[in-house]
A = this chain, B = another copy of it.
Amino acid sequence: MERASQLQQEIKQRKPFRSKKQEAALGILRTADVIHRRGEALMAPHGITSQQYNVLRILRGAEPEGLPTLEIGHRLVEQTPGITRLLDRLEKKQWVKRWRCPEDRRQVLCRISKAGLALLERMQADVDRSEEESLQNFSQNEIQALIDMLDRARKA
């Protein structure tokens, strides 16, 4: 007579999972949700969402040339329309600048602004700390095993 798993309790499910793989998959989804919420909670006081923060970080990494809209989208795994409007909001808040690329007028190049860089600077310490705290009590071996398993799951 097994005890109900922790996840099973969390979602108040009566029946046990049909399989361990199913439980693990749901565990990944719920854990991602928790990590995501922690991230949002950290960002909110700065008036930015985690996705906007990710875009700014990508753009900082692409300084000083900047990047075309869709290239940012590819790095975020997001579909086009979303990234366009996300950039609209970042531009409205003056954290990014956009202009038509003169060499290829279909593209719109994006660069992070001074204000955007300053924002990232202000958030840096908080973010660094928080990104690790979810896996605080894990050994190096465990972390590596986790990384490897997740890589395999994504490839499947």
Interface residues of A (CB under 8 A from B): 5-7, 10-15, 18-25, 27-36, 61, 74-75, 77, 128, 131-138, 140, 142-147, 149-154, 156
Q: Is the CB of B21 within 8 A of A132?
A: yes
Q: Is the CB of A20 within 8 A of B154?
A: no
Tell me the interface secondary structure of chain A in the complex: helix
Q: List the 9 shortest-distance A-B pairs measured between CB atoms, nearest first.
A: A32-B32, A27-B150, A21-B132, A21-B135, A31-B150, A22-B131, A20-B143, A6-B151, A34-B154
Q: Is the CB of A20 within 8 A of B144?
A: yes
Q: Is the CB of A142 within 8 A of B149?
A: yes
A103 to B99 Cα, complex, angstroms: 61
Task: Specify which chain B residues have a CB less than 8 angstroms from the CB of A22 in the assembled complex.
Answer: 131-132
A138 to B25 Cα, complex, angstroms: 12
| Chain B min CB distance to A14 (Å) | 6
Task: Specify which chain B residues have a CB less than 8 angstroms from the CB of A11 in the assembled complex.
Answer: 75
Q: Is the CB of A25 within 8 A of B152?
A: no
| Chain B min CB distance to A49 (Å) | 14
Task: Specify which chain B residues have a CB less than 8 angstroms from the CB of A32 in the assembled complex.
Answer: 28-29, 31-33
Task: Specify which chain B residues have a CB less than 8 angstroms from the CB of A24 in the assembled complex.
Answer: 135, 138, 143, 146-147, 150
Task: Specify which chain B residues have a CB less than 8 angstroms from the CB of A133 in the assembled complex.
Answer: 156
Q: Is the CB of B25 within 8 A of A29?
A: no
Q: Is the CB of A137 within 8 A of B156?
A: yes
A31 to B136 Cα, complex, angstroms: 20
Q: Is the CB of A138 within 8 A of B154?
A: no
